[in-house]
Structure 1
Amino acid sequence: MNTSLFKIDWERASETFFIKDDELLALLAPFTQEPIQSCFLMGSGCANANYKVIFRSGLTVLLRIYLRDQFALSREIQIHQLVQDKIPIPKIHYTDSSFKNLAYPYAIMEWVEGELMRDVIVKGSTTDIVECAFSAGKLLNQLRHIPFQQAGFFNPDLSIQPFSADHTLDALFNLCCNEPIIAHYLGDSLLQALADYIKEHAFLLLDQTKANLTHADFDPSNILVKKHNDTYQIAALLDWEFALADSYLLDMGLFLRYSHRLPRIYQDSFIQGIEDKAESLPAHWQTRIKLKELICLLSLLYDNRHQTRPNMKKDVKRLLEDIVIV
């Protein structure tokens, strides 16, 4: 498997969380006291802990423990209520934010059968890539039509905390430049190339007047697919921890982050899926999604500046170079 794609070799943001048997029983008891046949820690994910739990009856659920953000579960519950009849997502069976049995909020969710789109694309045929990317474009077009009054971060009740001046691309880039660890890691040449690119193109971010539900981690590692009538279709969109109200162009940039390392049909099929309902993309969309990507990538570096995640940082630096160095 190509480890230079889709965060495959990125380190976790926190240590792996292992649950004890007595803790597991206590967490599951309010949902069911059926005997447990097996429990597996899922390997994907860079922050939270996800366990596949199989009961003797055959019932299978996902136990999701929110390690990074104690308010993420509250937001995810609200988002699920908003989108459950619009897009495919796992059902939430039970939640607990009381911290009575565990120091973290957790949810017991429906187990959705399927394959990670990431795995299908990396090892799949051209036909598989076309089907997956096209279906992801159609899914993004659905998110594009779930509007919000303004852009900003979600509070636990999905009210909006508007972006401040500190959240602009210029402000974020200045933060990175003034952080010695980041400035040294990126080097003068890349920092200058970033400065030139931002100066030339940042005006394209100033005319954003519409906001929609934005997943903000919309890449094939968070999308489950399943064959239906011998064609890959979306089974579920996972992991809404970073969701906010913003432009769908941010999610476009995330999905196309590695498109230059994949066959051109990956990008083309994704765009066809977005435009499937005869809704064209805005002018300069290619540059706009790159600007959104710069925000995401620079945020990753800044938020992890004191963490030892060499694979992630190496990949982010390479992606920044791919955007601004011709």
Structure 2
Amino acid sequence: MTPEETEAVEAALGEPIVDSRKLAGGFSHETWALVLESGRAVVRLGGGAPGVEAAVMERGTELAPVPPVRVVQESAVGDVRPFMVIDYIDGRMLDDLLADPDADGLRTLGSDVARVARRIGSLTIASRPGFFADPALHVRAERPWSEQLAEFAAECMAATPDERLNREHRRAWAKLCAAHAPALTEVDSDAQLVHSDFNPKNILVAPAADGWRVASVLDWEFAYAGCPYADAANMLRFADEYPPAYVEGFRAEYAEGMAPEDAARWEFVGIVLDMFALTSLVTRPIGHSVADQAAGRIRVLLDGGLPGRR
């Protein structure tokens, strides 16, 4: 955060920043924790369209714990990047908790995370699927997802570094995406709210009487209208690295109350939707840790096929 950006944030808030520290994470933006005279806050600089994200978060408060938005500057002004200031929420990052060998209550927490995912996905937010074009949450026209996946995969594989996926893996992945793209025809018209980055790096948890609960869902900048199974698949993308109790609690709760046909297909369809994210991630420059994880996930799917298919 530059001196000019500090001044702009202070002017927008109407009070001085007493102290600040840079937070980890945020591949598309820069995040700082702020100490203000009135309390604590978080500023996110850069990234996509903060005005759109703030509008999505306002709708999301109906369904999930979301940090209140204080101020938004939607576009760059001189050398000052677009920014959004939100309230600071106390909690522990879910990815940190899942890496703690002494953590308990994880099955109950998995259930709570699944309930939040289902509540988010219960909101029909637009008349058609697609990405949000403005803070009024109008949706840009998109070709059906089933028609995009094969072409998208071919383009991304051409841009993926050899060091991350060799030529054989890239060709096989493009072929696998094309083979499973037709499975998305059944969800092409879905227009529910999708967080699109719903994973342990973007969820804060807090202690509860029975273990842990979701305290806040962060980083809504990639949200869109579509099929909510994508969020469930995002959460389970690296499930092999999480404690089994957490994964079991999430899977059981997410399928609770579903019609038999939905309970039989949500995980498979979600994995096909997640092919978009995996395919995009591996194009990132060498040294990007999440991109390397995504490449590992792709190799697993190539070796064993897509689990959950019915």
Q: Is the structural similarity TM-score above 0.5?
A: yes
Q: CA deviation at 1:182?
A: 4.5
Corresponding residue pairs, total = 298
Q: State the distance in 2 between where 1:199 and 1:294 align.
A: 10
Cα pair distance change 1:128/1:102, threshold 3 Å: farther
Q: What residue is the counterpart of 1:15 in the other structure?
A: none
Q: State the distance in 2 between where 1:83 and 1:312 align.
A: 26
Q: What residue is the counterpart of 2:10 in the other structure?
A: 28
Tell me which amino acid in the other structure corresponds to 1:32.
G
Query: How does 1:1-326 map onto structure 2 within 5 Å?
Result: 18-20=1-3, 23-34=5-16, 36-56=17-37, 59-65=39-45, 67-69=46-48, 72-97=49-74, 99-100=76-77, 102-125=79-102, 127-147=104-124, 148-156=126-134, 157-164=136-143, 168-177=148-157, 179=158, 181-182=160-161, 185-208=164-187, 209-276=189-256, 278-280=257-259, 281-302=262-283, 304=284, 307-326=285-304
Given that 2:193 and 2:226 are in contact with CA atoms closer than 8 Å, whether structure 1 keeps it comes out as yes
Cα pair distance change 1:79/1:199, threshold 3 Å: closer
Q: State the distance in 2 between where 1:165 and 1:98 align.
A: 30
Q: State the distance in 2 between where 1:310 and 1:233 align.
A: 30
Cα pair distance change 1:267/1:38, threshold 3 Å: same
Given that 1:134 and 1:272 are in contact with CA atoms closer than 8 Å, whether structure 2 keeps it comes out as yes
Q: CA deviation at 1:316?
A: 2.1
- Give CA deviations for 1:90-114 in whole Å, capped at 9, x if unaligned: 1111222364475311122111111
Cα pair distance change 1:32/1:207, threshold 3 Å: same
Given that 2:164 and 2:286 are in contact with CA atoms closer than 8 Å, whether structure 1 keeps it comes out as no
Q: What residue is the counterpart of 1:4 in the other structure?
A: none
Q: CA deviation at 1:180?
A: 6.0
Cα pair distance change 1:60/1:318, threshold 3 Å: same
Tell me which amino acid in the other structure corresponds to 2:289.
N
Q: State the distance in 2 between where 1:107 and 1:60 align.
A: 14
TM-score, normalising length: structure 2: 0.86
SS of structure 1 residue aligned to 2:12: coil
Q: State the distance in 1 between where 2:78 and 2:163 align.
A: 44
Q: State the distance in 2 between where 1:180 and 1:45 align.
A: 22
* Long gaps (5+) in structure 2: 305-310
Q: State the distance in 1 between where 2:58 and 2:76 align.
A: 23
Given that 1:27 and 1:101 are in contact with CA atoms closer than 8 Å, whether structure 2 keeps it comes out as no
Q: CA deviation at 1:270?
A: 0.7
- Give CA deviations for 1:264-307 in whole Å, capped at 9, x if unaligned: 3332211223244x2354433332222122111112234x3xx3
Q: What's the % identity of the aligned pairs?
A: 19
Given that 2:98 and 2:243 are in contact with CA atoms closer than 8 Å, whether structure 1 keeps it comes out as no
Deviates more, 1:131-140 or 1:160-169: 160-169
Cα pair distance change 1:117/1:262, threshold 3 Å: closer
Q: CA deviation at 1:185?
A: 4.8
Tell me which amino acid in the other structure corresponds to 2:153.
F
Q: CA deviation at 1:41?
A: 0.8
Q: State the distance in 1 between where 2:137 and 2:91 align.
A: 29
Q: CA deviation at 1:47?
A: 2.2
* Long gaps (5+) in structure 1: 1-17
Cα pair distance change 1:196/1:159, threshold 3 Å: same
Q: CA deviation at 1:81?
A: 2.5
SS of structure 1 residue aligned to 2:219: coil
